[in-house]
Amino acid sequence: MLAGCGATGPKIPKSALPRLVLQPADLGPGYVRFDAGPLTIADTQTGPREDLHRAGRAGGWKARYKRRRRGMPGPVSVSSFADLFDSTGRASKDLGAYKLEFEEAGVEGQEVFVHVPKIGSDTLATTVVSGPIRDYRLAWRYGNATASVEVEGFDGKVSKHDAVALARRQQRRIVRAAR
């Protein structure tokens, strides 16, 4: 679901990129970060957001985590991403590209988009179940930034609430960087 359509907001500097994604303290001691740094072509999916040099994009950052112990409720893996643009309008277009990307990832006959509380200025979310694994993806825009979290776990042990809580933690980081 896309919530809100305004294209205004603060301008976040490129120097803030490493602080715009989830940090180890946001997940706690049960998780280990195994990947972090600038977004590269290896981090993209085929589709509307795969071009790292798309119009107005100033750069992107990622952080990926996995749970240390198996069999526990909650996410098994968490990925956090952020992209900065030269304007809020171009960030809004990027969120539109997220929507297309999410639609392409859907499974025939399955509801893909889910309702979540508003995270940034605009928010959308999906969930897909593949075998025993449930995947939640939330994406939002705030000012000239787009951000997303991907939360994966065993169906029935990971929830939309888990994904929303992590997205809110990341959004607090983005708001702090905008000040």
pLDDT number for residue 71: 74
Residue pair 83/39 in contact by the 8 Å Cβ criterion: yes
* Average pLDDT, integer, range 42-64: 91
Give the sheet arrangement for strand 122-130, strand by strand.
31-38, 57-67, 77-85, 145-154, 133-142, 122-130
pLDDT number for residue 179: 83
Report whether CATH 3.40.1000 matches the domain 1-43+56-82+112-179: yes
Digit-coded pLDDT (tens) for 128-176: 888 999 999 999 999 999 999 999 999 999 999 999 999 999 999 999 9
Digit-coded pLDDT (tens) for 87-140: 999 999 999 999 988 887 765 546 578 899 999 998 999 998 889 999 999 999
For 31-37, the CB contacts below 8 A with 24+ separation are 31/65, 31/66, 31/67, 31/68, 31/78, 32/65, 32/66, 32/68, 33/63, 33/64, 33/65, 34/64, 34/65, 34/66, 35/62, 35/63, 35/64, 36/61, 36/62, 36/63, 36/64, 37/61, 37/62
pLDDT number for residue 64: 98
Residue 61 has pLDDT above 50, yes or no: yes
Listed by start position, the domains of the chain span 1-43+56-82+112-179
CA 146 → CA 60, 73, 127, distances in Å? 9, 29, 19
pLDDT band at residue 70, thresholds of 50, 70 and 90? confident
* Average pLDDT, integer, range 24-30: 95
Could you report how far apart the first and last alpha carbons of the chain are, in Å? 28
Instruction: In whole angstroms, give the CA distance from residue 158 to residue 92.
Output: 29
